Structures are given as structure tokens and as C-alpha cells.
Amino acid sequence: MSIAAAIRPVIDPGPLPAPPNLADADTRERLTPAAVDGVVRLAEIWRLTSTEVCALLGDVSERTWFRMKKGEWLGVLSQDALTRVSALIGIFKGLKLLFSEPLSDEWVRLANKGPLYGGQRPLDTMIRGGIPKMLEIRRHIDALRGGL
């Protein structure tokens, strides 16, 4: 038997599912509970202050954030906020794949001399740069782990 015949080809899983349409109100309503749960857990792991979380989420007030943490908020996240949560969770996952603990959990709080960060903490870079910078950082993490 040849080597080629011995190695099973990778099964093509077919096309990837289309990303959710965050402009659709029903989609946002369906995704919001999981997004809120995820960001609450992420804030604990990254030891984010309420001010930092609200800045990362963009259009969430501290009062709303406190209600989210208590599980008392029944609202729906905006398209902008869901995009931000998606980027943050992607960064978190990439860091877990790239680094062991505690570095994977502390990385966003550590000053970074890379050109993307200019000596600042990735957390501050994301707060200042919003969605474009969050997505750029996510791509950076994915590239570091060879995921691009």
C-alpha cells in the first residue's frame, strides 16, 4: 500500500455556516443571554472593573452592567455590543490556546511593547480603539498561534 493510500484524506465538512445576522432583532434576542453570561465570566477571569467592562461593551451603562451581573437585566444587546462580545470571547479563546495559565488570563493587563500596543496594555488598546482594534488584536492572537 502506498503512503498516500495509507493516509486518510481529511473529510471536507462542507461550507461553514453563515455568521449570525446581528442586524436581525430576533437573532440578537436569541444570542444576548449567552453573550451576557460569557462577558460576566470573562470580566471575572480578566478581573475587569465595571468601568473597563462598560468601555469594552461600548454602549452599556454601569447600572445596566450591575444588573447583567446579577442576572436581572432582560434587555437585548445591540449589534455593536454583540460584535464586541464576539471579539472579546475570540481573544479569550485564542489566549487560552496560545498560553498556559496564569499568562492567558493576565495577558490583557500586561504592558505590551509590540507595535500594535505601543507599550500599553492590550486592555487599554481595546478600550481606546473599539471594535476595529479588538478585531485587530483578535487577528494578532490568531496569527501568533498559527490560526490564520
Give the whole-angstrom CA distance, residue 118 versus residue 132.
16
Q: pTM, whole model, 2 decimals?
A: 0.85
pLDDT > 80? residue 3: no
- pLDDT, residue 59, reads 82
What proportion of the chain, given as a percentage, has pLDDT over 70?
Answer: 89
For 73, the 3-state DSSP assignment is coil
- pLDDT, residue 121, reads 97
**Cα-flanking dihedrals φ and ψ of residue 142, to 5°?**
-60, -40
User: What is the per-residue pLDDT across 8-62, written as a single tens digit (0 to 9) for each?
Assistant: 555 556 677 888 889 899 999 999 999 999 999 999 999 999 999 999 999 899 9
- pLDDT, residue 14, reads 67
User: What is the per-residue pLDDT across 53-99, written as a single tens digit (0 to 9) for each?
Assistant: 999 999 899 999 999 999 999 999 999 999 999 999 999 999 999 99
- pLDDT, residue 98, reads 93
- pLDDT, residue 127, reads 97
Instruction: State the average pLDDT for the chain.
Output: 90
Side-chain-facing half-sphere of 90: CA atoms under 13 Å: 18
AA identity, residue 41: R
User: What is the per-residue pLDDT across 116-134, written as a single tens digit (0 to 9) for each?
Assistant: 999 999 999 999 999 999 9
